[in-house]
């Protein structure tokens, strides 16, 4: 059986890593055209994370306080990276379809 916590943790780590790569590329001034494949991979990773979270929240998880708190911290970091990357792209004149701040 697949551990739903492990699925969420893995999906979150992947999304976070890709978001950090996007942020570094944006900070380095990489051409928007070169960012597109990475942005697509990032979107796929976030979609996987959303699916995994949907599965996890439907299950009871007693005794998982530490894991929950660590995951919450990673999700906050992911949201912050998302928002600052969007702000940086916007300031460079890059317009993304569906662009919106999450919080």
pLDDT digits (tens, 9 = 90+) for 60-78: 778 888 888 888 899 899 8
pLDDT > 90 fraction of the chain, expressed in percent and rounded: 28
Q: Which of 88, 23, 78, 70 is nearest to 46 (CA)?
A: 78
pLDDT at 97: 63
Q: Residue 3 phi/psi, 5° resolution?
A: -75, 115
Residue 103 pLDDT greater than 80, yes or no: no
Residue 80 pLDDT greater than 70, yes or no: yes
Going 77 to 78 to 80 to 81, the CA torsion angle's sign is: positive
């Amino acid at each position: 059986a697949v551990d739903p916590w492990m699925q969420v943790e893995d999906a979150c780590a992947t999304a976070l890593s890709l978001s950090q790569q996007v942020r570094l590329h944006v900070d380095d001034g990489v051409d928007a055209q070169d960012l597109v494949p990475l942005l697509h991979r990032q979107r796929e990773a976030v979609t996987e994370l959303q699916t995994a979270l949907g599965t996890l929240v439907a299950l009871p998880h007693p005794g998982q306080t530490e894991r929950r708190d660590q995951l919450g911290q990673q999700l906050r970091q992911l949201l912050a990276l998302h928002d600052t990357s969007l702000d940086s792209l916007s300031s460079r004149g890059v317009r993304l379809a569906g662009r919106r701040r999450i919080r």
